[in-house]
């Protein structure tokens, strides 16, 4: 391969990567359309007032907390996990399991209308990002390596959740 071919080949790869990364911003605006009657919409300033800086980074800026840093990863009591932004009940302890990934993991939400998904290209390859259907707070990602009966792993940030024991 000559230098010119290599240069243009690497340039094309670079443009592809840049395009995939730019899609992340586009999908975050268009893919999360919810028909919920109880939809919650707040300004960034209003979210900053009610959330801790760490929870704001996860729920509103789609950041990820460090693995093994959330006490909810080790939560074993019966109860319900709620959205940390709007308190919508999202996941039951009945579907929680130890995925050994360092984040709270579930094989299903309480109901499909409680969550929304979109394709995330942040790491260049596509992933399924999961959000609260009511406030669109970022929860984490869904992977296809979970236990039965769904085969799904809802890998969530503990900072995006609150827990209420039964």
| 115/112 Cα distance (integer angstroms) | 6
Taking Cα atoms as reference points, which of 48, 40, 24 lies closest to residue 136?
Answer: 40
Three-class DSSP category at 163? strand
Question: Which residue intervals of 34-115 are DSSP H helices?
Answer: 44-50, 53-59
Residues taking part in catalysis: 155
Region of 62 on the Ramachandran plot (φ > 0 left; ψ -120 to 50 alpha; else beta): left
| 55/132 Cα distance (integer angstroms) | 14
4 burial via Cβ count (<10 Å: 0-12, 13-18, 19+): exposed
Region of 102 on the Ramachandran plot (φ > 0 left; ψ -120 to 50 alpha; else beta): left
């Amino acid at each position: 391969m000559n230098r010119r071919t290599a240069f243009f080949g690497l340039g094309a790869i670079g443009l592809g990567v840049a395009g995939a990364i730019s899609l992340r911003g586009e999908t975050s605006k268009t893919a999360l359309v919810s028909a919920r009657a109880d939809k919650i919409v707040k300004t960034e300033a209003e979210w900053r007032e009610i959330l801790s800086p760490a929870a704001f980074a996860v729920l509103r800026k789609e950041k990820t907390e460090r693995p093994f840093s959330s006490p909810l990863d080790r939560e074993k009591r019966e109860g319900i996990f709620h959205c940390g932004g709007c308190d919508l009940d999202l996941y039951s302890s009945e579907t929680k399991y130890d995925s050994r990934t360092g984040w709270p993991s579930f094989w299903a939400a309480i109901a499909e209308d409680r969550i929304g998904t979109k394709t995330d290209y942040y790491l260049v390859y596509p992933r399924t990002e999961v959000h609260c259907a009511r406030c669109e707070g970022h929860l984490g990602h869904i992977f296809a390596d979970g236990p039965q009966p769904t085969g799904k792993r809802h890998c969530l940030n503990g900072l995006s959740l609150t827990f209420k024991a039964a």
